[in-house]
Amino acid sequence: MKTVMVTGGAGFFGGILKRTILESGDRAISVDVCPDEDEHPNLDKRQIDLRDREALDKVFASTRIDGVVHCAAMLAHGSEDPKELWTSNVDGTRNLMDAMRKYGVRQHVFTSTNCLWGEAMGRPVREDDPPNPVELYGRSKLEAERIILDYPDINCCVVLPSSILGGWACFLFCSSSSMRDGGYGQWAEAATGINLFMRAI
């Protein structure tokens, strides 16, 4: 039985991933600033802020963790304070990576965004196209990706969703490589996308 931490586990997509982990027979640790209403014998719920290094350390110290799926993020429409958004998405990611390194957790999936390219190019994004986010959310996600690069000892898969729709409907997803290699992404059943996440852990 694997133990997978899902940050943002009380949220929409994090919740789908968390429940899929549990249904597969594995154990999930849901980490979120919001209360998690789900109940399951193999679900460990921790209502903490990723910016709280001490609280995060306690979670990692309390149990063996095989991998982390990092879905937690402050969205632009979810915060009126730009500093709150930046520290949540950037400092929270740095704290998470530090804890993973400290406790030897080597598998990581990071949910980024296609907002790294803020203006339409009229063609698919290429590998050599530099990211150019035009709003704070995209800039915070780009900075989080740069932070992750400082941890080469941790295996990280970065996924750039465009849209996530409906409970088990579908979402538009791209891996970082497929999008930059010229694909606009593709619509897929949520379960298909979740399988991609799970194979990375």
What CA–CA distances, in Å, run from 150 to 23, 50, 157, 175, 176?
Answer: 34, 18, 14, 20, 17
Alpha-carbon distance values, 61 to 85, 118, 136, 176 (Å): 27, 39, 33, 31
Say if CB 165 and CB 171 are below 8 A apart: yes
On the 0-12 / 13-18 / 19+ scale of CB atoms within 10 A, 2 is middle
Given 103, 137, 151, 184, the catalytic residue: 137
Catalytic (active site) residue 137: yes
How far apart, in whole angstroms, are the C-alpha atoms of residue 26 and residue 18?
10
For 143, half-sphere exposure in the C-beta direction (CA atoms, 13 angstrom radius) is: 17
Q: What are phi and psi of 188, to 5 degrees?
A: -150, 155
For the annotated catalytic residues, the residue numbers are 137
